Amino acid sequence: MCRWLAYFGKPVRMDKVLYGPQHSLIEQSLHSRLGAETTNGDGFGIGWYGADGTPGVFKSMEPAWNDRNLRDLARHIESHLFIAHIRATSGTAVQQTNCHPFRYGKWLWAHNGVVHDYANVRRDLLLAVDPALFPLIEGSADSEVLFFLALTLGLEADPPAAVARVIGLVEQIGHAHGVEFPFQGTIATTDGERLWAFRYSSEGRSRTLYYSSDYDTMRAMYPDDERLLDFDQSTRVVVSEPLGELPGMWNEVPESSWGVVQPGRGELHPFRPAVPAHA
């Protein structure tokens, strides 16, 4: 159910990252190896930050693998920070409003995973969204509601704390509906300056998540790989599954963790859902 990729670092033509690698995200849309589904053909989306700091979004309900617009746009747009997502629906409609990344102001949000028994908890989750944000919900996917819950619970001020509250709330509401393991998945979110990634599931067996090694280390290991010249020390890529099989290139984000990519040194921390205040 879905794969995503988040790029942070030296401005680069997006196709270098999306199409270039050996096992690229676009190739994963046809042949994912680590996903719950091998095919992620129920739409895709890409959100990128331009020179002015605001994100653009391009979405389609068609499969990514043969999409000519995506190929052309990726070839002609350069960005220092972007999120791409390919979708395999767990049941909700195949439509642009269910494609990731979701956007609010300068924020983007992508999710791979599922709120279990979503049909039954959806109403309660929607009720927890700030009524002022409610009119902005356009699709029917759980991932979009998670985003608006995060905005409701403080995403703009403190993303890790807000996501902890969202997942705590999802678990509380899920348990109240008899769902044993309410949340599953990985999340990427960014305000255009920093990039946060989360890996967590209620059952402790979460969807996979990887981040690229330090640039200098990669250059030392692969001094002849010309593709690395497109990037630099500021570059970090976070992905649902590795984009290739170069040993030493990809590192697994540990179970129940969150990390932040930012100018300077990134961080990696344990993740724990927050119990809602009124619980």
If one asks whether residue 69 binds a second copy (CB under 8 A), the answer comes out as yes
90 binds a second copy (CB under 8 A): no
Check binding of 161 to a second copy (CB under 8 A): no
CA distance 70 to 141: 22
Distance CA 113, CA 36 (A): 9
At residue 110, the 3 state secondary structure works out as: strand
Alpha carbon distance 269, 257 (integer Å): 6
Three-state DSSP class for 261? strand
Q: Considering beta carbons, is residue 14 or 163 the nearer one to a second copy?
A: 14
Which of the 8 DSSP states describes residue 58?
Answer: E
- 137 near a second copy, rule: CB under 8 A: yes
Contact of 143 with 111, CB cutoff 8 Å: yes
For a second copy, the closer of residues 136 and 221 by Cβ is 136
According to CB under 8 A, which one of 20, 23, 27, 60 is a site residue for a second copy? 60
Query: By rule CB under 8 A, what string of x and - marks binding of each residue 187-226 to a second copy?
Result: ----------------------------------------
Helix and strand numbers (H, E) in the chain are 7, 13
Q: Taking CB under 8 A as the rule, does residue 73 contact a second copy?
A: yes
Please measure the distance between the N-terminal and C-terminal CA atoms of the chain and give it in whole angstroms.
31
Among 50, 254, 266, 276, binds a second copy (CB under 8 A): 50
Q: Which of residues 18-37 bind a second copy (CB under 8 A)?
A: 30-31
- CA triple 65-261-42, angle to 5 deg: 20
Residues that bind a second copy in the complex, under the rule CB under 8 A: 30-31, 38-39, 41-42, 48, 50, 54, 56-63, 65-66, 68-69, 72-73, 75-77, 89, 92-97, 119-120, 122-123, 126-127, 131, 134-135, 137-140
